[in-house]
Amino acid sequence: MTSLNPAARVGRVRLAISDLNRSTSFYSDVIGLSILNRERQSASLGAPDGTVLLTLDQTPGVQPIGTRSRLGLYHTAFLLPNRAALSSFIDHLNSRSVRYGASDHLVSEALYLVDPDGLTVEVYADRDRSEWRTVEGQLQMATEPIDFAALAAVQHDLWTQAPTGTRVGHVHFYVGDLRSAANFYHDGLGMDIMTQFPGALFVAAGGYHHHVGLNTWAAGSPPASQNDARILLWELVLPNEQEIARLAANMQKHTWRASAQHVFTDPWGINVALVTPMR
């Protein structure tokens, strides 16, 4: 099997949404992303240094979706640079009376929100890799209550926006079955299997806990259609064109064909574009 280059990471995520004004306000005012570019039907948001993390496309006919009602995007996960930023973000949400969920995953601490179209958003901070534990070849992850008192005790500044260093840490998808998912993301894209639970699989490059999460918690639901709020594309960033060519050849070896320039589509209509870093 061809392994994914350890420097690979998740880049920009592009969403089809129903109302650009409403979604732009959510991702800027609540999540804290900077508005980098705004057009009539589209907006790009990201980090203060100008890195685009999210593109929103207002698409005619698109409607919000219900929880676990479609295969496709479960959540886009924005990784903050440290726990201090996560502590600031919690203060920000509480000051605005924003509802959210929270989990301690052992490797990270995460908050969960739902955007105006029913798409989940994760905002999280990683624990230091020295605290991660592997048992019998599987990285230990869990879903436990978060220690809000410990986070509040971390010295932090007042939240004004998502800080420099914020990026898309991972994406997580609802899929129909894990065997087909592993064929695309593990065998084809070459991501390592970091850990697996009944109904969920986590894959990554470079020893990260996961760049892609895959679960069957919405199995039996239809794939997102053109009338649904959904993910249009996510970017897998590779170091250079040679790595793109190597990975594309491996995808084709496993019978996955590019539908556009280095864009591959998984069995549930989720598109991944192989790209190099923006210059």
Give the model's confidence band at 1: pLDDT under 50 very low, under 70 low, under 90 confident, else very high.
Answer: low
CB 112 within 8 A of CB 72: no
Can you give the pLDDT at residue 3? 87
Which pLDDT belongs to residue 261? 85
Flag whether the pTM goes above 0.85: yes
For the stretch 179-234, pLDDT in tens is 999 999 999 999 999 999 999 999 999 999 999 999 999 999 999 999 999 999 99
* Helix (DSSP H) and strand (DSSP E) numbers for the chain: 5, 17
Which of the four CATH numbers 3.40.640.10, 3.10.180.10, 3.30.9.10, 3.30.1490.20 does domain 11-275 have?
Answer: 3.10.180.10
pLDDT digit string (tens) for 123-143? 999 999 999 999 999 999 999
Cα–Cα dist 228/17, whole Å: 8
Closest listed residue to residue 181, CA positions, set 76, 68, 270: 270
CA neighbor of 123 nearest in space, from 73, 158, 88:
88
Domain ranges of the chain: 11-275
Residue carrying the six token digits 């509040």: 152
Neighbour tally for 159: CB within 10 Å: 18
Q: Where is average pLDDT lowest: 37-51, 172-186, 245-259?
A: 245-259
Three-state secondary structure along 90-121? HHHHHHCCCCCEEEECCCEEEEEEECCCCCEE
Pairwise CA distance, residues 103 & 101, whole Å: 7
Would you place residue 2 in the very low, low, confident or very high pLDDT band (cuts 50, 70, 90)?
Answer: confident
Question: Residue 147 has which token pair?
Answer: 């220690």
